[in-house]
Amino acid sequence: MSMQVEDPRVIEFDVRTDEMLVNMGPQHPSTHGVLRLLLKTDGEVVSEVTPHIGYLHRCAEKIGENLSPPQWIPYTDRMDYLAAMNMNLGFSLAVEKLIGMEVPEKAMNCRLIIAELGRIASHLVGMGAYGLDLGSFSPFLYAFREREIILDLFEETCGARLTYSYMTPGGVTHDLPGMITIPPGLAQLTGHSPDMELEWKDAVLMFLEWLETRIREYHTLLTRNAIFIKRTAGIGILTPEMAKSYGCTGPVLRGSGIDYDLRRDGEEIYTRMYKGYNFEIPVAPFDAAPHGVELGDNWSRFYVRMMEVVQAIGLVRQGLEKYETAEGTYREGFKMGSKLPSDECYLETESPRGQMGFYIVGSGAAEPLRTRAKSSCFCNLSVTAPLCENTLLGDIPSVVGSLDIVMGEIDR
């Protein structure tokens, strides 16, 4: 049945938008894994965001109650699989704190070099994937090209490329390697013969030197890119009060202007690894920020990560220098079935995505009564709901991407 309208223009005023529920994920590419966001939208404006997690829940904590700590190390690899080395480190240190063990200087030095290389690899993925979220494809390819070389170097160190289980209670499983064949990616990029043999240490230094010159390129590709700035500056502003209340840590916290890094402010068992090293902790606001950037927005969080890569390069260099004179062995014995005391301890370490905490309760048996992994991304993600209120639909990937989450760590 047709309807007569006296004045066609009236229809214009009559068109109303309805609230609509949109499911974003769990297979959406820009949700970084299996995260499902339930969006309540009115046109382009999102009024409410409800994150649903748990699609990757593998009961890691329950499994940990039936395994001795060295046996649980591989499970920590599979939490934050982009920074598995830093996960190993956090749990190993927590176990050492519980049993009162001190690792030799050499072991600490190996751990520092590898953990900081892991931080570079992790931030490279964070940067590349963030570019991809915002529709810029090339930084992603560059980031993975660079990360590939770090993975090759890790493979020479411990045999694995992604799930290393390299740092265990007592130290590390292998000493740093000696002569290696140059990683194929590095040979190609630096113009050396692919058959070239060199010291592992020299390969790392060669890579760092090359990476350092690339960082300026990333800045032109993303940081100073007008489109990138438009999509990130002044969007997703996380105030310092909110960051504190929601337990945000790592680059997300420092992007909101709170100067706190466990490598400097943490517990002694962790900070003594970094004793005698010179490094700065990048904290927003930055002098280099382009027009429109505000404290705690997407751009600030991204820039903190970029600056941390520069600091990590310096730390690895200093570590390699100190490696020559480091005393002791790379590994102190930890007996497989040794009993844990009837005590408990909690330790947080500065993993690339924030403060990763491990809580272990012993009961006199070899298996702990409780192993708890407090995920940094879990806390960082919990802030999405208030952060995404009343933003545009297109800005949701920009905000969620800037938190740099890994679902394996959130769901455990």
Binding span for another protein by CB under 8 A among 55-63, 134-142, 219-227, 293-301: 55-63
Stretch 212-251: interaction string toward another protein, x if CB under 8 A? ------------------------------x-xxxx----
Position of tokens 């900081």?
A: 116
Distance CA 100, CA 94 (A): 10
Distance CA 346, CA 374 (A): 10
Binding span for another protein by CB under 8 A among 9-17, 182-190, 307-315, 367-375: 367-375
Distance CA 410, CA 405 (A): 8
337 touches another protein (CB under 8 A): no
Question: What number of residues does the chain have?
Answer: 412
- The correct pick among 86, 168, 355, 398 for binding another protein (CB under 8 A) is 355
57 touches another protein (CB under 8 A): yes
- Amino acid identity of residue 335, one-letter, is K
75 touches another protein (CB under 8 A): no
Burial class (CB in 10 A: 0-12, 13-18, 19+), 402: buried
135 touches another protein (CB under 8 A): no
Alpha helices in 246-357 (DSSP H): 251-255, 262-265, 268-271, 298-323
Distance CA 379, CA 354 (A): 9
Residue 257 vs 328, nearer CB to another protein:
257
- The correct pick among 214, 219, 322, 374 for binding another protein (CB under 8 A) is 374
Distance CA 228, CA 233 (A): 8
Residue 54 vs 337, nearer CB to another protein:
54
Phi, psi of 392 (to 5 degrees): -80, 150
411 touches another protein (CB under 8 A): yes
Binding span for another protein by CB under 8 A among 37-45, 159-167, 283-291, 382-390: 382-390
98 touches another protein (CB under 8 A): yes
Asked, as a colleague might, if the bond just before 26 is cis with ω within 30 of 0, I would say: yes
Whether the CB-CB separation of 154 and 110 falls below 8 Å is answered with no
Which spans of this chain sit near another protein (rule: CB under 8 A)? 53-54, 57, 59, 61-62, 65, 97-98, 100, 242, 244-247, 258, 260, 265, 267, 342-346, 348, 355, 357, 359, 361, 363-365, 369-370, 372, 374, 378-379, 382-383, 386, 411-412
